[in-house]
A = this chain, B = another copy of it.
């Protein structure tokens, strides 16, 4: 449900228009130095600023209420809360009857029997990822591995130097686009991952798919590798540390890290909220009607989601690294 992890455990709460969102971070080793600059830096990357991101401002001022003492983790669970300051009192009730295409409005209404907090998408709002980013920042403070993310494609655009212009053209159409993000984990060691079910790739995929809008995850060559023969795909080991000549497997064999960089590619679908009018079924009128969401939304949430993906990777890595340490 809303907790993840075996030894490093992250419990998320919050809804878009409730007083606060937050996260309980359990299992960070006592003695871990807390790097608040890292937290701020990571939250900053998630903020809407660039072209193609929403003009709405969220302060994302977090507050640590437990588990840190004199700037160091105490070994007790860390609670971090972010208040929802910029909450408008506008009427959201139409979301219950006019479910937005691509959103969780409809499934939420059915699953939670109409009791969900529908305002601003409630718990399905991208807002919650701010708390997830914070949890990942804490994880990074305790892993010896490095993670980075990079935007590799947005819509039809592959040359990222032209991104602003491309997004301006999408904005003009009152539409949105998705994209792909590449993640690289370096400074890996051999042996992270717990077969059969807690394989490193399986845990990474589970967390990546828990991030809203993610619709595809692949490791190494991924789907493109389908045309390769085994002799081309196999990565030849060239030294006693397990270094391979190529890295088509993406740094993981049998669900266990092989010491080479881990390469992941993630597909993030186009933002569901668009300024353009769309059809939807009106649940009370019982017919298809035109829906005008209005507002100014993220045109390319993919531009902000990279740090979220990077940080959920950190969460999985710390959990598995601690399990590794129990045996080494």
Chain A residues within CB distance 8 Å of chain B: 1-4, 6-7, 9, 11-15, 18-22, 24, 26-27, 29-31, 63-69, 72-79, 81, 99, 101-104, 106-108, 110-113, 115-117, 122-124, 128, 153, 155-156, 170, 173, 175-180, 190-191, 194-199, 201-203, 205-210, 212, 214-223, 225-240, 242, 244, 248-250, 253-258, 265, 267, 269-274, 276, 278-281, 283, 286, 288, 322-323, 325-327
Contacts and interface: CB of A to CB of B under 8 A. Distances in A.
A230 B22 contact: no
Contacts of A222: 215-216, 223, 267
B78 A81 contact: no
Nearest to A170: B229
Contacts of A11: 3, 9, 11, 24, 26, 77
A234 B101 contact: yes
Nearest to A110: B190
B210 A219 contact: no
Nearest to A19: B65
Nearest to A284: B240
Chain copies in complex? 4
Contacts of A280: 236-237
Contacts of A269: 221, 225, 233, 248-249
* The 5 A-B residue pairs with the shortest CB-CB distance in the complex, in nearest-first order: A104-B254, A176-B230, A216-B218, A230-B270, A111-B191
25 contacts: A1-B195, A2-B24, A13-B26, A19-B63, A19-B66, A24-B24, A30-B327, A31-B113, A74-B122, A75-B111, A75-B116, A76-B123, A101-B235, A101-B244, A107-B242, A111-B190, A155-B227, A155-B229, A197-B210, A205-B217, A216-B218, A223-B267, A234-B274, A237-B280, A325-B327
A259 to B, nearest CB: 8
Contact of A191 (B73, B107, B214): B107
B221 A215 contact: yes
Contacts of A124: 195, 254
A265 B226 CA distance: 12
A323 B322 CA distance: 9
